[in-house]
Structure 1
Amino acid sequence: PFTLLFIDQALIYFQNMVYLIHTLRYFETASSQISGFPQYVSVGLVNDLVITHYDSNTKRTVPKQEWMNRVTEDESQYWETETQINVNNEQVGKYNIEIVKQRLNEIGGSHLYQRMSGCDWNDETNEIRGYFQTAFDGEDFISLDWETQTWVAPKQQAFDTKLRWERNGVALRYKDYFDHRCADALKRYVRYGEKTLKRKELPEVWFLQKSSSSWVTCFATGFYPDRAMLFWTKDGEELLEDWGGILPNHDGTFQSSVSLDLSSVPTGDWGRYSCVFQLSGVKDDLITKLDPGLIRTNGETDEVREEPQLEFSCSVCLHTATPVCPLQPPYIGQVIAQVYKHTECHAVAGGSNV
């Protein structure tokens, strides 16, 4: 069928990716009147791996990967500079919350201002792509359209920001930043962490079932990188089932799951089904044949890593394991000026008040 042919072609392309695209993302969350959570948090990630962290409680930017300590080889005052930039960005975040509250005619209450920015680097073509997106209380506020270099403002309250940034040429300054300094930083970080970022780890695979009448879940955990696919097959043919996507583990690896309804299939036919895991850059698939005797039920899954728990809600994107959520709802953002100490970067990346 056409659908299966399309999936086959997509998987062939997927297998040939071999981590050609590297990503650098900075995430920022400024909050007001949220008990138990810092008023400001910023996190940097390379290829979805957390590399830096700062919050308003500690007032320090710290490395989250051992190899990130190498940055001082090229820039001796890197961590002091990063800390000062984040201290400044913390004030910008608070200011932005107050500005948006005024535009919404709101007084008091709990609020979140989120920001995501960064760049992608294709290590084969050397192509660079930049990203910039903000949100207020979980709803898109203003973002950069990379192709047209224009600002997108889905909310009326963001129109003033859009007009002012277009009048002041903010998009061009961001483009220059993404094309050069952000890209240079990403290449440097990939060089520092090459052994970690380019490693390949296959997962452990379990079959899980809550009860005899429940769907059977194939659960794969501990793989790296997150360029992976997980699906069921019957007699070697792919089945279109609900894939749970990819989630982070606390140790920097990833997990995924896909469930299958076998309630109408005789147990004797279960052996015709297999769970297939594919990892980018690894030629051979990891195929696990379904065996009823290997299925873990409630009370038998103590060794399985627990799925990460969400604080508040996914729309807020506050993750106990690593603060990453899909782009919709919006990412937590981060001011990209963290990467460099040059004062002109503050105006380009850190000083764009809404």
Structure 2
Amino acid sequence: MNVKMEKKMKCVLILLLCCHAASPVKHSLKYFFTESPGAQSIPEFVAVAIVDDVQIGDSNSVREATPKKDWIKFFEDHPQHLQWYSLQSHDSHHFFKATIETLRQRLNQTEGVHILQRMKGCEWDDETGEINGYDQYGYDREDFLAYDLKTLTWIAPKPHAVLTKMRFDAHEHQFESNKNFLVYQCPDFLKEYLRYGKRFLQTAVLPSVSLLQKSSSSPVSCHATGFYPDRGLMFWRKDGEELHEGVDPGEILPNNDGTFQLSVDLKLSSVTPEDWERYDCVFQLFGANEYIITKLDKTLIRTNWGKPAHITATVVVLAIILTAAVAAVAAVAVIAYKRKKAPANASEQSETLNPQT
């Protein structure tokens, strides 16, 4: 068994092959199907349904589709959704297994674990009404096929995918069915899920925002952490106008608790000392109607090489108080020691002067 490949497979279930970045006004419904025959520590087949990056259900090769806790009530009231999902999972499992065997023979692959994935779904812009459907395959963590809704044909980015593309294109009766799902059925599903899950799908959590700097010559980083969902936007402004030069935007990264973080750096070489007050950092989160604005202020910057003035002053005061407390304790200890020694000295003098006692 290829241990290295199996470790990669564990990541594949989370970092799936093809992910679409959603803009702040877009909602998405995605179905991920993954087949990996030969892997021992994970199921041979896994199907996952995700709405706005929140998993609503899953299934594998040995059981029917199972909704997540928050979605049990919905699928009980809409059993046709669960039946459709289960049927899709069952058919995909057998189709994927046969396709992997075909690809292994075509590419002369005889050993190791091989991975076939499919992601199909849709995005819906709730402001413009625009709908975008997609259907994509990946093999061994590389793009394999992508469905083109405009031409109703499959696109093969790799030479070894051409034969599969031709075989898929030959099934013309599947084109209308696939188009109908991506353009009509999938958006209808998505809107139903959004209506039901609005209470917990769109609960926005604002972050804490800090100004960070590694050294006096480093850029100032505006860092937001703890926000949800992962649809945050952050940028630097000067006089209320967004800056595009002298800034280095980062990527949205996950935290261990399910929230997210984001940073954007500002190069101080482009900022004159007298202009600091003209700069600020803005964070905006989809689902929240407020902005978080942080002024470029030296006293707010957290660094590894120095502390803000108010923190330094606090440390000095605490040091003075601690010194005074130590001195007081020492004085009390000396007095107590002298008092303890006084009776003993008096007794010694008495014994010398009056030996008969």
* TM-score bracket for this pair, using the shorter chain length: 0.5 to 0.7
2:291 and 2:83 mapped to 1: Cα distance? 45
2: CA distance, partners of 1:35 / 1:264 = 55
Q: In 2 relative to 1, CA 297–40 (structure 1 residues): closer, same or farther, beyond 3 Å?
A: farther
Unaligned runs of 5+ in 1: 1-16, 300-354
Contact persistence 1:45–1:52 (CA under 8 A): yes
Structure 1 equivalent of residue 99 of structure 2: 96
Larger Rg: 2
Q: 2:137 maps to which residue?
A: 134
Instruction: Give me the whole-angstrom Cα distance separating, in 1, the residues matched to 2:60 and 2:195.
Output: 27
Q: Which amino acid aligns with 2:251?
A: G
Aligned to 1:181, what secondary structure does the other structure show?
helix
Displacement of 1:238 in angstroms is: 2.2
Matched, 1:290 2:301: no
The answer to whether the Cα contact below 8 Å between 1:271 and 1:289 also exists between their aligned partners in 2 is yes
TM-score, length basis structure 2: 0.66
Residue 242 (structure 1) shift:
2.6
Distance 1:268 1:112 in 2: 58
Q: By percentage of residues, which structure has more helix?
A: 2
- 8 Å Cα contact 2:67-2:75 kept in structure 1: no
Equivalent residue number for residue 178 of structure 1: 182
Could you report, residue by residue, the CA deviation over 1:184-240 in whole angstroms, capped at 9, with x for unpaired residues?
221211111012234443322123344454433222233344443211123433222
Q: Structure 1 residues 106-115 or 261-270, which shifts more?
A: 261-270
1:155 deviation in Å? Answer: 1.5
Find the aligned partners of 2:273 and 2:97 in 1 and give their Cα distance: 59
Which of residues 7, 28, 32 in structure 2 aligns to 1:23?
A: 28
- The Cα of 1:95 is off from its aligned counterpart by 2.8
CA contact (8 A) 2:25 2:126 kept: yes
Q: For residue 226 of structure 2, what is the aligned residue in structure 1?
A: 222
Superposition map of 1:1-354 within 5 A:
21-32=26-37, 36-55=41-60, 59=63, 61-64=65-68, 66-75=70-79, 82=85, 85-123=88-126, 126-169=129-172, 170-240=174-244, 241-249=247-255, 253-262=259-268, 270-280=276-286, 282=288, 284-297=290-303
Q: CA RMSD in A?
A: 3.5
Deviations 1:251-284 (A, max 9, x none): 5544322123336767786554321112346554
CA distance in 2, matches of 1:298, 1:65: 44
Amino acid at match of 1:48: D
1:87 Cα deviation after fit: 4.8
1:288 deviation in Å?
1.0
Q: Write the distance in 1 (CA, Å) between the matches of 2:216 and 2:113.
A: 44
Cα separation, 1, equivalents of 2:275 and 2:129: 50
- Larger RCO, structure (CA 8 Å, separation 6 or more): 1
Scaled by the length of structure 1, the TM-score of the pair is 0.66
Letter aligned with residue 202 of structure 1: L
Residues in 1 aligned to 2:98 and 2:304: alpha-carbon distance in whole angstroms: 49
Distance 1:18 1:137 in 2: 28
CA distance in 2, matches of 1:271, 1:38: 57
CA contact (8 A) 2:203 2:287 kept: no
Offset of 1:37 from its aligned partner? 4.5
| CA distance in 2: counterparts of 1:30 and 1:296, whole angstroms | 47
Equivalent position SS for 1:164? helix
Structure 2 residue matching 1:99: 3-state secondary structure:
helix
Deviations 1:269-325 (A, max 9, x none): 6554321112346554321123344444569xxxxxxxxxxxxxxxxxxxxxxxxxx
Between 1:143-152 and 1:78-87, the stretch displaced more is: 78-87
Q: CA deviation at 1:105?
A: 1.9
Give the match's secondary structure for 1:245.
Answer: coil
The Cα of 1:35 is off from its aligned counterpart by 6.5
Deviation per CA, 1:63-82, whole angstroms, max 9, x where unpaired? 3451453221121x865774
1:87, 1:23 → 2: CA distance? 23
Aligned residue-pair number:
282
SS of the equivalent of 1:105 reads coil
